[in-house]
Amino acid sequence: MNVKTASRDWALLSKEDNFGDRVDAWFLDNPEIFGTEGYRPQERQNYLHSLGRTIAGKVVTWTLNSLHTKGLAVDIAFHGDALYPNMNTEEGKAAWRKVADSAAEHGIDWGWDLWGADAPHFQDAEATFTYPPKSYRENAVPAWANEFTDNMEAAGISTPPETTVGDMPLYQLIGVVHKYVKAGLKLGFFKT
């Protein structure tokens, strides 16, 4: 393996949740794009991470723990004049947004929506939830709060929308907060 070469072997994408199949379907729906890199062996991730740090070059990644190494991420570019349409123009933004909206239909998250950077990067939405970015993890909801929510739901306890926070029993408050945080993470409302 050459650490300097990006793999475009889509068969190496994760079979977990059929990520590879969903990427294939997404590419078919959007003929204006093509994949530039999918599965990335850890050796290559280490090499990329060393660029601009221990060896000369431009910094191209901020992590050693990329979802590419799990076969759960793919980078794309566009056919045509601009490989990477300019996010600072309405036209460029619209081109990316169209592709990202289509990705969402295939359960694929867009890097730009997740952290406001890295537009070419797309990843399995379930993986975003399972391996949230660092800042998400710092706000992670503890397992016991999760259990509270499940127990509440099992007991058929719901919180009326008109209930003010001050009136709410603590366990309900925790459950409600947890529910919104969880939904927010899944929907990508919380940005890094």
Picking from 50, 36, 51, 49, the residue whose alpha carbon sits closest to that of residue 5 is 36
Q: Do strands 108-110 and 73-78 pair parallel, antiparallel, or not at all (unpaired)? A: unpaired
Which residue stretch of 19-27, 70-78, 138-146, 167-175 sits at the interface with Zn ion (rule: CB under 5 A)? 70-78
Give min distance, CB of 41 to Zn ion, in A: 14
Among 7, 72, 75, 114, binds Zn ion (CB under 5 A): 75
Q: Residue 128 or residue 149: which is nearer to Zn ion going by CB? A: 128
Give min distance, CB of 37 to Zn ion, in A: 7
Picking from 28, 10, 30, 165, the residue whose alpha carbon sits closest to that of residue 73 is 10
Residue 168, by phi and psi: left (phi above 0), alpha (psi -120 to 50) or beta? beta
Amino acid at 35: G
Residue 25: C-alpha distances to residues 48, 109, 184 (Å): 29, 15, 26
Q: Residue 19 or residue 148: which is nearer to Zn ion going by CB? A: 19
Alpha helical stretches, state H, the chain: 19-29, 42-50, 90-105, 111-115, 125-130, 134-138, 143-154, 170-187
Q: Does 22 bind Zn ion (CB under 5 A)?
A: no
Which residue stretch of 75-83, 89-97, 151-159, 174-182 sits at the interface with Zn ion (rule: CB under 5 A)? 75-83
Give min distance, CB of 13 to Zn ion, in A: 12
Gyration radius (Cα) of the chain, Å? 20
Which is it for the CA torsion 179, 182, 184, 187, positive or negative? negative
Site track for Zn ion across 91-130, x = CB under 5 A: ------------------------------x---------
Q: Residue 75 or residue 149: which is nearer to Zn ion going by CB? A: 75
Amino acid at 96: W
The site that binds Zn ion (CB under 5 A) totals a number of residues, namely 3
Q: Residue 114 or residue 185: which is nearer to Zn ion going by CB? A: 114
Q: Residue 70 or residue 121: which is nearer to Zn ion going by CB? A: 121
Binding site for Zn ion (CB under 5 A): 73, 75, 121
